[in-house]
Amino acid sequence: MSGEFYPTRPHPLCRQNKRTSVMGCLCKDRYRSGNHRTGIVMKQIINYDGRYCANCGTPMQGEFCYRCGQSIHSAIKPIHGMLEDTIDIIFNVDHRVIHTIPPLLLKPGFLTLEYFSGRCVRYIAPFRLMFTLSLLAFFVIHLRMDSVSGTIDLRSHAPTIELGDDFKDADSAQEVRDTLKDKLEELNSARLPAVMPQAQLAEMDAAAQKIRDQANERLHALGAAPISAASLAAPAITGSSAIGSAATPGTAIPGSAGKSWDDRKMQPIHIAWLPNMVNASLTQMGEHMLENWRTFKHGDGAAREDAKQRLIGSFFGVLPPTMFVLMPIFALLLKIFYVFKRRLYVEHLIVVLHSHAFLFLSLMLGALIDMLAAWVRPDAPWLVTPLGWLNVALWIWAPIYLLIMQKRVYRQGWPMTIFKYVLIGWFYSLLLTFALLVAALLSFAY
């Protein structure tokens, strides 16, 4: 009957530990049925007669088919239910987030030890946790770098325009023309229409016209002919802009020994033991690297800015897979340093996943704090200092967290733990530097 209680025999382990009562076992699994029943089991009967699995036709005995695993509930759901299922499949966002994120940030080694103890249902799986946090961290850092890059570009390409009379000390017409040329070159080199606002561009144009008027006034005072109207209407593009405009197919490049852009092409790469498709890909990557190098060296300001944005996007595109390749190598490094602990390689990999998940979470929080500080700076500048100290505390906490985590997981004395922590940190720094260089090289090839 439904609702009856059936006292059962205590679990053998509970009998050994004397965790029993008159009614049976007192362990935490007393309400869970299996091959052996432990504790007081409440038998609940639900009638599934006449219901069959829509997938395999097996008679249903519960909410899920015991043969294929399909749910008895209909797959046709409202749109919000489909969105919830999609988010759950990708990010597994549910109550486990509440149980996972706080200890990941504040309790070093807690999640790893819980996973080793078999208590893993209430927490997000290590790989999914690391993968989700890495995507979020790289996304937020990319946004932060874009905002910082835009601010730096606007500041660096917005020169202080001084409209003083620089021609009053000129004693000859040639000196006036040379001074005018230098002033216009200075403005043209800082002019980037792709990244500068229209108001700033208009201000620079007005300053250039003012400088030309001052030069003509001085030329008139010296009795020399003024600058022609054509020069006033279309100033000569000098410096890097002239080089960038001359860098068209079929024209010679300064310093290239008479070779044109079409003549200087990447030689095809052919490695005998590689497939032709791989050789073609390597050749294409080499051509992209050469093209990016030419853009940075000879391109104008707009082309350089476009190339820089493309490289930043490519860098953050290839950095996650590069870091994923680095993690198994780091787990192997832990296996070597703790070989006498007789832990499986998978256990070291779990340690690596949780430690990197913490690092990605710290990076994301640090970038968010920086963005918040930049956002509140105009209206609440008094908040900038506390946010800065919070970011500093986060960076100080990161190495301390990893040290405590290593001590709690591997259970060695502090002297040996600190010694191995320093060595492992040194080797990991080399691996990380190599990974960043590879990511930068690959991004330069896109």
Query: Tens of pLDDT along 352-405?
Result: 999 999 999 999 999 999 989 888 888 888 998 999 999 999 999 999 999 999
Whether 258 has a pLDDT exceeding 50, the answer reads: no
Average pLDDT over residues 149-170: 55
pLDDT for position 403: 96
Is residue 111 within 8 A of residue 123, CB to CB? The reply is yes
Whether 180 has a pLDDT exceeding 60, the answer reads: yes
pLDDT for position 242: 37
Max avg pLDDT among 19-23, 27-31, 142-146: 142-146
Within 10 angstroms of residue 110's Cβ, the number of other Cβ atoms is 17
Using CA of residue 164, residue 165, residue 166, residue 169, what is the dihedral sign?
negative
Is residue 244 within 8 A of residue 303, CB to CB? The reply is yes
> What's the rounded Cα separation, in Å, for the pair 410 and 390?
30
- Provide the residue type at 238 as one letter: T
276-298 and 301-337 helices, crossing angle to 10°: 130
Q: What is the mean pLDDT of the chain?
A: 75
pLDDT for position 70: 84
Is residue 324 within 8 A of residue 356, CB to CB? The reply is no
CA torsion 195→443→432→343, rounded to 10°?
Answer: 130
Of the candidate ranges 23-27, 121-125, 223-227, the one whose mean pLDDT is the lowest: 23-27
Q: What is the token pair recorded at 190? A: 């800082």
> What's the rounded Cα separation, in Å, for the pair 342 and 30?
33
pLDDT for position 235: 44
DSSP structural state of residue 5: E
pLDDT for position 95: 76
Phi/psi region, residue 31 (left: phi>0; alpha: psi -120 to 50; beta: rest), is alpha
Whether 408 has a pLDDT exceeding 90, the answer reads: yes
